[in-house]
Amino acid sequence: MNVDAPSRTSSATTRGGFRPSRRQALLGWIYATPTAVFVVALFLVPLLLVIKMSLSRWPLLSGDQGPNAPDNFTKAIDHRFFTDSVVFTIKYTVIATVLLLLLGLGMALLVQESSRWNNLLRASFLVPSALGLASASLLFYVLYSPYASPFAPVMESLGITFLGSPNAALFSTVFLIVWRYAGFYMVLMLVGLQSIPADVFEAARSDGATRWQTFRSITLPLLRPTLALTTVLCVTGSLLAFEQFYILTKGGPDNSTITVVQLIYMIAFQGQNDLGVAAALSVIVLAALVLINALQLRAFRSEEN
Amino acid sequence: MTVDSSPTSAAVAGSPRRPPRMPSGPGRQRGLTIAGVAFRTPYWVFTGAVAVVFLFPLVWTAVASVSPQAGTNQVTGWGFGNYATLADYQAGIWRYLANSAFVSLLTVALTLLISFLGGYAFARFRFPGRNLLFLLTLAILMVPYATLLIPLYVLLNEVGLQNSLVGVALVLTMFQLPFSTFLMRISFEAVPRELDEAAMVDGCSSFSALWRVLVPAVKPGLITVGLFAFLAAWNDFMAPLILINDSERMTLPLAVSNLRGQVQGVVDYGATEAGVVVLALPCIVLFLLLQRHYVRGFMSGALKG
C-alpha cells in the first residue's frame, strides 16, 4: 500500500456526524446507479418478459402476438422430447453430482497436506478448470472421434466407440465434465477441510481412533456445510447442461442425449421457432430449479439440527 | 494487505496457514528416510498417475495440433498446416480473435467499473433501497443464464443490439455482477474506513479518495474480478450462439465449433485442435500467472451461492 494515511482523524468523529446522512444517501445512490441500471434492464425486465412470453403467442419472426395461456405450457409438456429430456437431464445430474463430489473430496484428501509435490498435483488437477466448457468439449470431441483419437486403435479392437451408443455417449460426456470440474470441487473441499480445527484431529488421535473412524465421525460431519454447498452448485449446474451435449453429441445418438436446456434452444431456434413455447419451458425450468435449491438447502439444514 | 491475507486466498499456492493434520497417512512422513521413501512411493506413483490423466488431453491436443496428419491418430513430424487451415476459415481467424477480444475486454471494463462503484456504495454508504438492490444483484444467481436468453434475445432485438457484440458484452457483464459485486463489497469492507475518510478530511473529494486511496487497497479484488470476467467472456458459447447470427460477428468458440459439421460428415479435426489451442492458451497462461486469484475467485464464487 503506497498511501500514507494521516492518523489524526478518529473514526468516531467521522462516523458520528461528519458526513450528513442525506449526502451519504445521495452519494451511495450515485455509485450504485450503474448496478441498478444493469439489474433492472438486463435482469428484472427479461425476467418479467419471459413470464409474459410464456403466456403469449410469440413466433420467432414477427407475427401475431397475444395472450394464449396456458397453450405454451401444454405444448411444451406435450413436446415429443419433453419427458425424455427431463429424464435424461435428471439421470445425468445424479451421475455427474455423485462422481464429482466423490472425486473432488477424494482428491482433496489426497493432496491435503502442503508440500511441494502436493502443490504441483493441485495445480495439475486445476488446470482443466481454466478452460472454457466449450473449448473442453471441442477438445474431447477430437479425443473421442474414431479418426483422430489416440485411443482409436484400442477402441476399434474392442469394438466400441466413445459416442456411438446412448450409454457410451452419456459416460463419455460425464468423463469430460469430471475432467473439467473435479479440480474446482477439490478446491472447495480443500478450503472446507482447512476450516476444521487441527486440535479436533489431534484429540481423535490421542483417543486412538483409526483413520476411517476419524473420517466418518469427524471429517464428514464437520464438512457438512461444504458438502451442502458443493451439492447445490453441482446439481444446479448439471440440470442446466447444454454446451457439452450440444458440442459432443448434438443430442445423439438417436436423440438419446437431449437435455432440457437443449430442448429450449431447439424449440426457439431450430425447427419450431416458437419463442412462446421456449419461454414456457424456461419458466418451468426456473421454477423447478428454485424449488430444488430450496428443498436441498432445507434438507441439509434439518439434518444439521 | 488486508484483503490478501484472507484465509481463503492461500488454499492452493503454498498455504501459510497450518494445514489440518490427519492422524496418520503419507503426509506425516517428513524427510527422506529409507522407510519414508518406501512408504511414500506408492502414493507418488498413484497421485502422479492421476495428474497424468488430467494433463494428457491438453498435452496431446497441443502436440497433435502441430502434426501434419490432421484427422488421423498419427502424431509424427510437425508443421503449422492446421493453424493455416484455421486462419483461412470463413471470415478468417483474425476477425474472430478480434471479435472475441472486443467482447472480452468490453466485458472486463464494464464489470470492473460497475462492481467497483457498486461494491464501494454497498460497503460504505447507507441509502434507501441498499439491501434490496444488493439482494436483487445476488438473485441473478438464482435465475440461470439459459432461462433468460430467450427474453434477452427479444429485448436486445427491440433496442437494435441483437446480432451485436456490444449486446453480447452487456449480457455477459450482467451475469458477472453477482460474483463481482459481492467480491468488491467484501474487498472494500476489509479496508479500514479511516483510510479513505482521512483522505477526505485532508481535502480529497470523495471521488479522488476513491481513485487514489481505494483502488490500490482493493487491487487484489479487482484482479480477481477482472480475471473471471475475462474468462467468462472469452469462453462463453451460449450468448453468442443465440444472439449472433452474422458469421462475420461470431466469436472464436463459435467459429471453432463450426469447424465440425459445416459440410455433412466433414470434420477438420486438425483445425479444431489448433482452434482449441488458440482458445486455451490465454486461459492457461492466466492460470499460471494468477493461480492465487483463481482460488479466491472459486471461493467467492462458491460463497455467493
Q: Do the Cβ atoms of A148 and B72 come within 8 Å?
A: yes
Q: Does B89 touch chain A (CB under 8 A)?
A: no
Q: How many CB pairs under 8 A join A and B?
A: 358
Question: What CA–CA distance (Å, rounded) separates B252 from B93?
Answer: 8
The CA distance from B267 to the nearest CA of chain A, in Å, is 9
Considering only CB atoms, B272 lies closest to which of A110, A142, A179, namely A142
Q: Which residues of B touch A193 (CB under 8 A)?
A: 20
Collapsed DSSP state (helix, strand, coil) of residue A22: helix
- And the C-alpha cell for A129? 478448470
Cis peptide upstream of residue B178 (ω within 30 degrees of 0): no
Question: What CA–CA distance (Å, rounded) separates A57 from A54?
Answer: 8
- Eight-class DSSP state of B162: T
What φ, ψ does residue A59 adopt, rounded to 5°? -70, 155
Collapsed DSSP state (helix, strand, coil) of residue B232: helix
The CA distance from A25 to the nearest CA of chain B, in Å, is 4
- Eight-class DSSP state of A16: I
- Eight-class DSSP state of A128: G
Cα radius of gyration rounded to whole Å, chain A: 26
Q: Does B242 touch chain A (CB under 8 A)?
A: yes
Closest of B224, B123, B105 to residue B173, by C-alpha? B105
Best residue in A142, A232, A236, A269 to probe B by mutation, most B CBs within 10 Å?
A142
Considering only CB atoms, B25 lies closest to which of A145, A211, A289, namely A211
The CA distance from A209 to the nearest CA of chain B, in Å, is 8
Best residue in A39, A190, A227, A243 to probe B by mutation, most B CBs within 10 Å?
A39
| Fold classified for A82-257 | MetI-like fold (1.10.3720)
Cis peptide upstream of residue B23 (ω within 30 degrees of 0): no
Cα radius of gyration rounded to whole Å, chain B: 24
- And the C-alpha cell for A65? 402476438
List chain A domain ranges: 4-67, 82-257
The letter for the amino acid at B91 is: A
Cβ–Cβ < 8 Å for A142, A149: yes
Which pLDDT score, from 0 to 100, does residue B193 have? 85
Q: Taking chain A, what is the end-to-end CA distance rounded to the nearest angstrom? A: 45
Residue spans of alpha helices (H) in A196-242: 198-206, 211-214, 220-222, 224-239
Dihedral angle over CA of B193, B194, B197, B198, nearest 10: -160
The CA distance from A83 to the nearest CA of chain B, in Å, is 18
Closest of A53, A230, A293, A239 to residue B146, by C-alpha? A239
Q: Which residues of B touch A6 (CB under 8 A)?
A: 198, 201-202
The letter for the amino acid at B29 is: Q
Q: Does B71 touch chain A (CB under 8 A)?
A: yes
The neighbouring-strand residues paired with A59 are: A274
Stated pTM of the model: 0.87
Which pLDDT score, from 0 to 100, does residue B78 have? 75
Q: What is the DSSP string of B233-295?
A: HHH--HHHHHH---GGG--HHHHHHHTBSSSTT-B-HHHHHHHHHHHHHHHHHHHHH-HHHHH
Is the predicted ipTM greater than 0.90, yes or no?
A: no
Burial class (CB in 10 A: 0-12, 13-18, 19+), B139: middle
Best residue in A42, A200, A277 to probe B by mutation, most B CBs within 10 Å?
A42
Q: Which portions of chain A are predicted below pLDDT 70? A: 1-20, 63-64, 302-305
The letter for the amino acid at A248 is: L
Closest of A188, A175, A270, A290 to residue A230, by C-alpha? A188
CB atoms within 10 A of CB A49: 19
Which pLDDT score, from 0 to 100, does residue A17 have? 44
- And the C-alpha cell for A72? 405454451
Specify whether the backbone of B89 is left (phi greater than 0), alpha (psi in -120 to 50) or beta. Answer: beta
Q: Which residues of A touch B50 (CB under 8 A)?
A: 107, 110, 121, 125
Q: Does B237 touch chain A (CB under 8 A)?
A: yes
Best residue in B150, B156, B244, B284 to probe A by mutation, most A CBs within 10 Å?
B150
Which pLDDT score, from 0 to 100, does residue B261 have? 63
Q: Do the Cβ atoms of A261 and B146 come within 8 Å?
A: yes
pLDDT 10s per residue in chain B (305 long)? Answer: 333 333 343 344 444 444 444 444 444 445 567 777 777 888 889 999 999 999 999 999 998 888 876 666 666 667 777 888 788 777 788 999 999 999 999 999 999 999 999 999 999 889 999 999 999 999 998 888 888 999 999 999 889 888 999 999 999 999 999 999 999 999 999 998 888 777 777 766 767 777 788 888 999 999 999 999 999 999 999 999 999 988 889 999 999 998 876 544 556 888 888 999 999 999 999 999 998 888 888 877 665 43
Which pLDDT score, from 0 to 100, does residue A268 have? 92
- And the C-alpha cell for B178? 453477482
Q: Does B299 touch chain A (CB under 8 A)?
A: yes
Q: Which residues of B touch A235 (CB under 8 A)?
A: none
Distances (CA, A) of A169 to A172, A248, B196, B213: 5, 8, 57, 54
- And the C-alpha cell for B238? 451460449
